[in-house]
C-alpha cells in the first residue's frame, strides 16, 4: 500500500510539474508581456522614441502649413497692390484718351477769346442816343420794368460818352441780371433760338457797359 501511494503521489507531482512547465512557457506568449526587466525597459524606450518622432512630425507639418499660409497671404497682398496701381494707370490713360491731346497755349488763348462775351453791335445799341433794339422774346410786357431801367442807364451812358461811374456800371449789371433771371424762369415759353437770342443780347449789354462809347 505504501508503495502504491508513493507511486500515485509521485505521478501527480510529475503531472503537476509538466503542467506548470507548460503554463510558464505559454503564458508570456498569450499575455504579450515582457518576460524580463531589460525587455520591459527596451519597450518603454521604444514607445517614448516613437511618440517623440510622431510629435516632431506633427510639429513639422504644422510649421509647413503656417509658412505656406504666410506665403499665400503675401502673394495675395502683392497681387492686390499690383492690380490697384494697374487699374489707376488704365484709368488715367482712359481719361487722357477721352480728353484728347492737350491744347497749346495759343489754342487756349484763341478759345478764351472766342468764348469771351461780345460787345454790343450797332444793331443792338445806338451809340449816339443809347436806344436799344430789343429781341422779340424781351418785348413782352412782363419785362417792361427791366427794359425801361436798362434803357435809361444806357441813354445816360451815351450822353457821357461812355464815361460812367462804378455806381452806374453796377446798376446796369444788376438790372441785366434781373432780366436774365426772369427770362430763364419763362424758358418754356420760347423756342431755343428765341431764348438764346434774348440771353446773348442781355449778356452783350452787360459787357458793353465796360467800355467807352465808340
Task: Read off the pLDDT of residues 15-26 as tens digits, 9 standing for 90 and up.
Answer: 444 444 444 444
Q: Are 196 and 129 contained in the same domain?
A: yes
Separation in Å, CA 88 to CA 84, 94, 95:
6, 10, 11
Q: Are 192 and 152 contained in the same domain?
A: yes
Task: Read off the pLDDT of residues 89-115 as tens digits, 9 standing for 90 and up.
Answer: 888 877 777 776 777 877 777 776 767
138: confidence class by pLDDT, cuts 50, 70, 90: very high
Tell whether the model's pLDDT for residue 32 goes beyond 90: no
- DSSP letters along 46-94, please? HHHHHHHHHHHHHHHHHHHHHHHHHHHHHHHHHHHHHHHHHHHHHHHHH
Q: Are 163 and 95 contained in the same domain?
A: no
Q: What percent of the chain is modeled with pLDDT above 70?
A: 79
Burial of 151 (0-12, 13-18, 19+ CB in 10 A): middle
pLDDT at 20: 43
Please count the structural domains in the chain: 2
pLDDT at 12: 45
Determine, yes or no, domain membership for 89.
Answer: yes
- Write down which residue in 51, 71, 102 finishes a domain: 102
Of 6 and 214, the one with more pLDDT? 214
Beta bridge partner(s), residue 132: 125
Average pLDDT over residues 162-184: 92
pTM above 0.85, yes or no: no
Which of helix, strand or coil describes residue 165?
coil
Amino acid at each position: 500500500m505504501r508503495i502504491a501511494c508513493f507511486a500515485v503521489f509521485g505521478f501527480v507531482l510529475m503531472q503537476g510539474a509538466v503542467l506548470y512547465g507548460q503554463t510558464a512557457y505559454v503564458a508570456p506568449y498569450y499575455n504579450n508581456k515582457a518576460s524580463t526587466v531589460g525587455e520591459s525597459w527596451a519597450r518603454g524606450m521604444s514607445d517614448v522614441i516613437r511618440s517623440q518622432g510622431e510629435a516632431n512630425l506633427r510639429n513639422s507639418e504644422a510649421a509647413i502649413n503656417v509658412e505656406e499660409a504666410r506665403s499665400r497671404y503675401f502673394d495675395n497682398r502683392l497681387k492686390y497692390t499690383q492690380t490697384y496701381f494697374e487699374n489707376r494707370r488704365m484709368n488715367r490713360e482712359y481719361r487722357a484718351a477721352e480728353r484728347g491731346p492737350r491744347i497749346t497755349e495759343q489754342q487756349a488763348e484763341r478759345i478764351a477769346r472766342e468764348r469771351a462775351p461780345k460787345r454790343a453791335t450797332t444793331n443792338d445799341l445806338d451809340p449816339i442816343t443809347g436806344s436799344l433794339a430789343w429781341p422779340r422774346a424781351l418785348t413782352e410786357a412782363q419785362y417792361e420794368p427791366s427794359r425801361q431801367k436798362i434803357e435809361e442807364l444806357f441813354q445816360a451812358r451815351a450822353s457821357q460818352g461812355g464815361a460812367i461811374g462804378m455806381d452806374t456800371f453796377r446798376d446796369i449789371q444788376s438790372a441785366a441780371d434781373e432780366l436774365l433771371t426772369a427770362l430763364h424762369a419763362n424758358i418754356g415759353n420760347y423756342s431755343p433760338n428765341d431764348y438764346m437770342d434774348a440771353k446773348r443780347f442781355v449778356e452783350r449789354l452787360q459787357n458793353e457797359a465796360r467800355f467807352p462809347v465808340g
